Amino acid sequence: MNAQIPSRKKTSARIFEYLDKHINIVLVAPAMIILFGLVIYPFIYNINLSVHDASIFNIRSGDFNFVGIKNYITTVTSPFVQKAFLRTMGFAAVTVTLQLLLGMLAAMSFNVDFKGKGILMPLALAPMMITPVAVGLFWRMLLNSQYGVINYALGLIGIAPQAWLSDPTLALVSIVVVQIWWGVSFVFLIILGGLSALPKEPYESAYMDGASDLQAFRYITLPLLRPVLTVLATLRIIDAIREFDIIYMLTGGGPGDSTRVFTLELFVTAFERGEYGVAAAQAMILLIIIMILTSGLVRALSQTGASST
């Protein structure tokens, strides 16, 4: 019995010694396991699925035929996907541009002290604190053609009720407005943080030389904010391209397919048509688009850093 106690102590000492020598591996191992289970394995499985003829008829058996790049060709040549892609690009261009403009105006306004700023700041940041699904449900009630508050308010000033979510044009306008409302607070917060970190000396020198506020904004503020705006624009474009929750809760891609963006087309392909291999190929194409945008961000930041030095 007494002989076993020293041996146990030696075993424990060896274990602690090993852990001490390999502490970096021990600390990273749980995160790597989770990363593999939640990211790497699904990614590899999706790649494998995208090159096989997987559908609702054979997904449970796992008996897929290898088709190579056929699913990718089907995706690229599909008129539904092409329309959804163009609709997504237009949606992203309009929403991101207006979010940056409105966020810049709001940040410039809040960058000075004024009465009631402490009350208005939480209100300005409130939209970004709401989940996309809740945003979609909230605005779906507001835009209801029969019982919505917006049509009720329009009726008070003599304007007829509008079919915000059942008219193809108005539905597209509605999802753009809601996306801007939800995303502009995040843009405002980031730009405001960038403005508050800008040095004061360039502005003092410019005003002493007779520069106007517009000239100071054009030649000082915008160049200094370029890294922030580049990162912000790229993040918002990526978010707009992969937007799903708000549009799905508002219109479900309708009426017809007037608001069916790329992610909703992917959803329809997988869960309504049951073409899982084609949907996996669409997901890979979406990933490639996002990677291209990300690489553009890295190049832009590298050029910014090189020019500043």
Query: Which domains does the chain show, CATH number per domain?
Result: 79-308 (1.10.3720.10)
Neighbour count for residue 155 (Cβ, 10 Å): 11
Give the Cα separation of 163 and 254 in Å (integer): 13
66 three-state secondary structure: strand
Per-residue pLDDT at 143: 93
Mean pLDDT by 10 residues, the chain (309 residues): 56 70 78 85 91 88 87 93 94 95 93 85 90 93 91 90 92 95 94 90 87 88 89 90 93 90 94 92 92 78 59
Per-residue pLDDT at 17: 72
Per-residue pLDDT at 1: 47
Contacts (Cβ under 8 Å, ≥6 apart) of 223: none
Per-residue pLDDT at 7: 61
Give the Cα separation of 15 and 164 in Å (integer): 66
pTM: 0.85
Q: H or E stretch including 97?
A: helix 79-110
Per-residue pLDDT at 9: 62
Give the Cα separation of 99 and 170 in Å (integer): 19
Give the Cα separation of 120 and 34 in Å (integer): 41
Would you say 192 and 111 are in contact if contact means Cβ atoms under 8 Å apart?
Answer: yes
